[in-house]
Amino acid sequence: MDLLNTLVDKGLRRETPTREEALAVLRTTDDELLDVVAAAGKVRRHWFGRRVKLNYLVNLKSGLCPEDCSYCSQRLGSQAGILKYTWLKPDEASKVAAAGLAGGAKRVCLVASGRGPTDRDVERVSDTIKAIKEQNEGVEVCACLGLLSDGQAERLREAGADAYNHNLNTSEATYADITTTHTYADRVATVQKAHAAGLSACSGLIAGMGESDEDLVDVVFSLRELDPDSVPVNFLIPFEGTPLAKEWNLTPQRCLRILAMVRFVCPDAEVRIAGGREVHLRTMQPLALHLANSIFLGDYLTSEGQAGKADLEMIADAGFEVEGADEVTLPEHRAVRSGGACGADSDGGGVCGSHAGDAGVCGADSGGGDTCGSHEEGAAAPVSGPRPDLVAVRRRGAGTDLAPNA
């Protein structure tokens, strides 16, 4: 296929494809899907080999957000039965983070619901960053706290943060349809502040909110222009109790095409499969590793993910390897630009780059996975269509007395 040959050549040269080429990837047929995955896989392997970076989410403050993001279980007016708690103490957060690091994660993503942090909140998170870094040598820390005020990114950097996540989520043209309490421009400004402070910028999207192919291409091209080191791709989790609860628009094939398109447009960025992979990719998750080089380990912010052990087995069975703490995630030209520690990674999604159906202002969660199943024992689950049985509210880890899933 001439299109795919052209996209591979451009990806290896870090050349931007045309909008028409990106749209064409989303419009390929199921018969062409494996060819698309193979082509994007060549670009992924050129820049990242067969390594998979593991990231771990710590939800520092859950629920009760004043923002009205339609996709989020923590939003203003949400009826989703999620965990609600105020700020974790630094030692509590460090203990939760340690579980993810013991499971193989090299980056910890610290997330807090809300419009944006107060200066006191930045101080709290700074203390948490220091506690985690003191107890875990070489760990990367990404913060995802919402919209930043002047000087806050610099304070997080001084405290030891390596990266900052703030997702664009959808196209500028449709942003007001999903959120009215802040603007698309507000999000762009926060990503720019992170960049300017010397933090590795992490910014991505949420697919499955009813957007068009053109909207998806618009947001990914906007991300390319912002040039984050990490691009988390979230797939909406339609949480009951949120305005988008009935939006079940994704298939595994659609998710793979979206990931391939992101890889072609952002060939040398860390592409992370973030919230919603268990719910929408399902048994196709291993195939998605040929497109993305990063995932979240275990649970998300307010929903359950696949068991951590299952994540590790999936990576090994698919012929990939977990990226070691001593390995640099990003290609050399990005690692140098990001200053080493962050350059050795990029973040996520969520929250540190990854929200979907469960994201707050930050963007990093969604749930599902083999630990969730809620259909009756012995009942046959549908092969396609809505799968609310795969969505389970997180009831372990941060904010509970139960051990985290890592």
Residues marked as binding for [2Fe-2S] cluster? 109, 142, 202, 272
φ, ψ of residue 202 to 5 degrees: the values are -125, 120
Q: Which amino acid is at 389?
A: D
Helices (H) and strands (E) in the chain, counts: 13, 10
b vs e for 164-201, b when ≥16 Cβ sit within 10 Å of the residue's Cβ?
bbbbbbbbbebbeebbeebebebbbebbebbbebebbb
Cβ atoms 116, 146 nearer than 8 A: yes
DSSP label at residue 393? B
Beta carbons within 8 Å of 35's beta carbon, 6+ residues apart: 1, 4, 28
> Which H or E element spans position 52?
strand 51-61
For tokens 């060819």, the residue is 35
Beta carbons within 8 Å of 103's beta carbon, 6+ residues apart: 54, 56, 297, 298, 308, 312, 406
Which two three-digit tokens encode residue 363?
Answer: 């963007």
Burial class (CB in 10 A: 0-12, 13-18, 19+), 326: exposed
Q: Cite the annotated binding site for [4Fe-4S] cluster by residue number.
A: 65, 69, 72
- SS3 (DSSP) at 233: strand
- The closest alpha carbon to 111, from 79, 81, 146, belongs to 146
Q: Cite the annotated binding site by residue number.
A: 65, 69, 72, 109, 142, 202, 272
C-alpha to C-alpha distance for 32 and 256, rounded to whole angstroms: 12
C-alpha to C-alpha distance for 301 and 110, rounded to whole angstroms: 10
Crossing angle (nearest 10°) for helices 152-159 and 184-196: 40
Distances (CA, A) of 287 to 32, 34, 35, 37: 14, 9, 12, 8
**How large is the greatest C-alpha to C-alpha distance in the chain, in angstroms?**
56
